[in-house]
A and B are shown apart, each in its own frame.
Chain A
Amino acid sequence: MIKSNIKLLFLSFLLLISLRPLQSAEMIDPIKVDWSFKGLTGTFDRASLQRGFQVYKEVCASCHSMQYLSYRNLGEPGGPEFSEQEVKAIAASFEIEDGPDSQGEMFTRPGKPSDKFKSPYPNVQAATAANGGAYPPDMSVLVKARKGGANYIYSVLVGYEDPPAGVTLDDGVYYNKYMAGNKIKMPNNLMDGLVEYADGTESTVDQMAKDVTTFLAWAAEPELEERHRTGVKVIIYLILLTILVYLSMKKIWSRVDSEV
């Protein structure tokens, strides 16, 4: 009885779920990429993270901030894992405003690993004004802040096209088939050979888009590798404990004439 009811319940639920495509017909699904960080034991591709940081630094960082990251994060386990010297050098390449000093004056100094990533604009308003009225979003948690996550970010980066006939775009607006509403104020900044990768990888648009998306995925979830590792251990432990408790339960309940 209960079983057949549960079946009915399940079927009606499937019916409801199948109604879903009706709603999201106007947006096309992002490209599905087989990311290395997907799955229960997924980890980041270290080389890709380092290349992705390079793309971010040379291309994205002129407009997009990453205010919740510190330079030290670049050397931490589970991330791009630059060496201590490299992290220091990266940090020192930025001029950071500090202060006030004992005279009450603000001053600039070379960055330290403990500094937060330097933002390209002093505030949201300045960033908006400098970019034609569209604020380039902070990218610290961007991958978590978009439906579709890494697939979506990657798709937008490679999704620029000429607008279809009949679609007219204002100045400073671009056509992108994966962007909600298809209109985006960010120009297509990636072109083949734009950056010169330190490891010699050929910098195609697709390669750069994948690398920078990987970097952003790590930036949004720097704990991902540790989370996956811990999760596997926790679940194995819980399953073993569950089996032991189940056997104990069977033994204890064998004293009474009732099933558990």
Chain B
Amino acid sequence: MSEQEYTPKSKAGKWFNDRLPLLTLGAHLTDYPTPKNLNYWWTFGGILTFCLITQIVTGIVLAMHYVAHADLAFASVEHIMRDVNYGWLIRYIHSNGASMFFLAVYIHIFRSLFYGSYKSPREVIWIIGLMIYLLMMAAAFMGYVLPWGQMSFWGATVITNLFSAIPLVGDSITTWLWGAYSVDNPTLNRFFSLHYLIPFLILGLVVLHIWALHVPGNNNPVGIDIKKPSKDTVPFHPYITIKDAFALLVFMIIFAGFVFFTPNVLGHSDNYIPANPLVTPAHIVPEWYLLPFYAILRSVPDKLGGVILMFSAIFILFVLPWLDTSKVRSAVFRPIYRQFFWILVIDVLMLGYVGAMPAEGIYLVLARVGTIYYFLHFIVVMPVVGYLEKTDPIPMSISEPVLTGGTEPSLARKVNDKV
């Protein structure tokens, strides 16, 4: 992987490295040439790694005290909150950690959309990333079921019932998923098992995600290919590690703010009511990070249609690299696409908002408009704008327009302003 061969200094190191080149890998990771112009939107990869490790560590501790049984789960969570040493802290880190994880992943995904990081030659990184995102949603959904509160139970009922929309075999599949004839103890038990499994699948995919990243190297705000290593790059350590550490600490301050001062604001109060199959909550809402998809689901009057559209909303992202026809990666140099990008951001935020509201009146209209735009953006806007748009001039290298500003001052200023 590394450009130049790495030789350990010590004899023991050399002996080991010849048998398992871990030290070579370490040297590769340290020296990894990274574009020097990465902005703070690029720090979320490191932040996400932190989130995953935090969820795994706190989750393992919680699993030592949690009981996956319909009669005992709610009480065991209260046991964690009241009797386990710092149990409240561990659980609040875990529950708020899920929200922080999604906050970071959405920023990470939209950064990729803005700077065209999904485009050739980085399609595989993008697709692995989407698989991670899918698994994250599955893990988060199942995790939300575990406390066995009202929203746990009814959320699980709504989501698993989606599968019953499949023609012919839908009901059989739903029963098979439940392990019973309704959401019940077997469902809770298997959700716990899968909730414990998925993070390790994610961890494996993260390794592949980073591996795939290290083949072409990072994209950058200018979006051009750069020579590596060169004066456009810096070694990963210490330059990127210290920058990631700084960004991570700022992120942790916000994280700690939630954990210590408003630990339940992102959850739903109904989930502190024990699950009751006989009482349906007035409004069943998923956690905030799934709301845009929930809005898409409910915007269609037909159940099967809604389910298909909701899954399409995610799967359309997998073909994104081939829907985007533009030769230019970064939206910094794409004046038209850039406007559409921000419309998409607003659209998704709006979908999230109406997803939390009852599906009626103005909210239903907004949900439908938002859903239509969401798909238009990917199916029509991306191919057409990429084809017709006149892009701004692109600099030859990262350093050039900045350093030799004298030759083309207008361009230099432009790049400085935008990046």
Contacts and interface: CB of A to CB of B under 8 A. Distances in A.
Interface of A: 1-2, 5, 8-9, 12-13, 16-17, 19, 22-23, 40, 67-69, 73, 137, 140-141, 144-147, 149, 180, 220, 222-223, 227-228, 230-232, 234-235, 238-239, 241-242, 245-246, 248-249, 252-253, 256-258, 260
A222 B79 CA distance: 12
Which of B245, B246, B353 has the most chain A CB within a 10 Å cutoff? B246
Chain B contact surface mostly? helix
Interface string B349-378: 110010001100010000000000000000
Contacts of A235: 253, 256-257, 260
A71 B399 CA distance: 69
B362 A19 contact: yes
Which of B88, B269, B345 has the most chain A CB within a 10 Å cutoff? B269
B90 to A, nearest CB: 11
B242 A9 contact: no
Given A1-B338, A12-B346, A230 B260 contact: yes
B239 interface: yes
Q: How large is the interface on B (under 10, 10 to 19, 20 to 34, 35 or more residues)?
A: 35 or more
A257 B39 CA distance: 14
Nearest to B81: A223
26 contacts: A5-B338, A23-B357, A23-B358, A68-B75, A69-B82, A137-B273, A141-B272, A147-B269, A227-B88, A227-B89, A227-B260, A228-B261, A230-B260, A231-B259, A231-B261, A235-B257, A238-B252, A238-B253, A242-B246, A242-B250, A242-B253, A248-B242, A249-B246, A253-B239, A253-B242, A256-B239
B336 interface: no
B272 A144 contact: yes
Interface string B219-248: 000000000000000100011001101100
Given A12-B346, A19-B362, A242-B253, A1 B418 contact: yes
Nearest to B87: A223
A164 B367 CA distance: 38
Nearest to B361: A22
Given A231-B256, A257-B399, A257-B403, A16 B272 contact: no
Chain A contact surface mostly? helix
B3 interface: no
B260 A228 contact: yes
- Pairs A-B, 7 closest by C-beta atoms: A231-B260, A145-B272, A242-B249, A223-B88, A258-B36, A144-B272, A68-B78
B123 interface: no
Contacts of A248: 242
B227 to A, nearest CB: 16
A215 to B, nearest CB: 15
Contacts of B242: 245, 248-249, 252-253
Nearest to A241: B249
Given A17-B353, A223-B81, A245-B249, 6 more contacts: A13-B349, A16-B350, A145-B269, A230-B260, A252-B242, A258-B37
Interface string B322-338: 00000000000000001
Contact of A9 (B345, B358, B403): B345
Nearest to B283: A23
Which of A13, A137, A227 has the most chain B CB within a 10 Å cutoff? A227
Contacts of B250: 242
Given A234-B256, A238-B252, A9 B346 contact: yes
Contacts of A2: 418
B171 interface: no
A16 B353 contact: yes
A145 B89 contact: no
B264 interface: yes
Which of B238, B261, B264 has the most chain A CB within a 10 Å cutoff? B261
A147 B357 CA distance: 15
Interface string B383-419: 0000000000000000100010000000000000110
